[in-house]
Structure 1
Amino acid sequence: MSTDNLNSTKQELNDFSGILSSYKTEVWSSFPGIDLYMDQVVTYLEKLLNTFNDDDKNKVITSSMVNNYVKEGYLKRPVNKKYDRVHLVSLYIMSMLKPILPISLIAGSLQNFENEQKYRIFFEEFTTMQDEAFNNVSHKLAAALNQITDDKDYETALRLFALQLTSEANAHRIAAEKILETLNKNNNSAKISDKEKNK
């Protein structure tokens, strides 16, 4: 790697570390309090979700995705073709996490709330964890950039660091899937048992 490329890489990744550390997940009260039509929903969420997406061709969310989520029962049906704050928050979470987990598992974790207040508390805890995760990765990246002193091995060290992050993410994904699959399976068994008791 040439000196110019090395300096450019260092600067870009240091800047990115700063973006990660200052990133804040959207809070509940920031979501519109009025119901929105589909095109408004997609436009609004695209703006929120495009922080780390540089590819305009691969949309984070589309009207087709939303329709499919409703059709599959992952999202409650809109009233008079309008989507409320709970819809928006659910779509926001699903869109953020779908590169990691199947939509069915994510949606299953968002459908067990008796009322909007409990969902709000859950979402506030989620945003805190999400912001902490970005902040932790930012610190790890900054530390990795500072520790690499040998310019000859800079690229190799960064590639290994990227694979370390990927390995950690994969291990976390596997554990998360198992937890959610187990919870969903046990919840479904409990619902079936309750129905049989009520017959």
Structure 2
Amino acid sequence: MKNIDEIIEELGLDNKITPQDIPSIDLYMDQVTQLFENTFEKSKRHPDEKVLTKTMINNYAKGKLLFPIKNKKYSKEHIMLIHLIYQLKGALSINDVKTVLSDLNDKVDVEQFNLESIYGHYINLHDTNVEDFKADTKKLSSDVENESVELSTEDQAYVEQVLLIVSLVNRSNMYRKLAERLVDQMAVTLDEN
């Protein structure tokens, strides 16, 4: 098995679209998809995968995950929201993503919210999350090695990989379930208002 640090580095977890990366002029859809493709290319599992397609963006717009697009151009705020959708859809259903972003979309659309400020905080947290992930993964990898020492079989490397994969998925499921509960709580609060 490759060193866990090498594998993590290959994931491109540091890739993100900062407010400074987004042009101050509105972009056409092709320019938006190219921005995402260039930024997240290292994050793709397979080279032929698409990070973001025109169909995806159209579906986000039709599903009201984005406030209305004007003149077929996407503003800086649209790109920030698309980035949030890109991150959220990896773990949540589209309906959950809509719940999370609906109030934000409404407020950005009527200019009651400074999305760039919130997005900047998200980017800061992203960087912290990446560092925490790296540290947690190293510890988990060490825990798996310690756990599998007793096995000492010819298949020990394989068993370590299985245990690490199962442990990572277990943690992922815990985080996803917590996020889903928070979405449910948010939905109730939004319904009450």
- Cα offset for 1:84? 0.5
2:29 corresponds, among 34, 38, 63, to 38
- CA–CA distance in 1 between the matches of 2:61 and 2:12? 34
Which of 61, 66, 74 is the matching residue for 1:83?
74
Correspondence 1:10 to 2:2: yes
| Cα offset, 1:90, TM superposition | 0.9
Aligned AA (1:30): D
Contact 2:24 2:76 in 1 (8 A): yes
Deviates more, 1:95-104 or 1:79-88: 95-104
Q: Check 1:21–1:146 CA distance in 2 against 1; reply closer, same or farther (3 A cut).
A: farther
Note if contact 1:32-1:85 (Cα within 8 Å) is conserved in structure 2: yes
Pick the structure with greater CA Rg: 1
Which AA in structure 1 matches 2:2? K
**1:110–1:28: structure 2 CA closer, same or farther, 3 Å change rule?**
farther
Shift of 1:116: 7.3
Please list the CA deviations of residues 113-151 of structure 1 after superposition, one character each: whole Å capped at 9, or x if unmatched. Answer: 434763222222222222222222222333455663868
Corresponding position: 1:139 with 2:135: yes
> Displaced runs of 4+ in structure 1, greater than 6 A?
none
Alignment of 1:155 with 2:179, yes or no, is no
Is 1:127 the equivalent of 2:123?
A: yes
TM (norm. structure 1) is 0.77
The Cα of 1:110 is off from its aligned counterpart by 2.8
Q: CA RMSD in A?
A: 2.6
Runs (5+) with no aligned partner, structure 1: 1-8, 191-199
CA distance, structure 1, for counterparts of residue 98 and residue 57 of structure 2:
12
Whole-angstrom distance in 1 between the partners of 2:76 and 2:130: 25
Highest relative contact order (Cα 8 Å, sep 6+), 1 or 2?
Answer: 1
Size of the aligned set, in residue pairs, is 181
For residues 22 and 55 of structure 1, what CA distance do their matches in structure 2 show? 16
Gaps of 5+ in 2: none
Q: Counterparts of 1:168 and 1:19 in 2: how far apart (Å)?
A: 20
Distance change in 2, residues 1:17/1:72 (3 Å): closer
Secondary structure of 1:112's counterpart equals helix
1:176-195 correspondence runs (5 A) = 176-190=179-193
1:67 equivalent in alignment to 2:58? yes
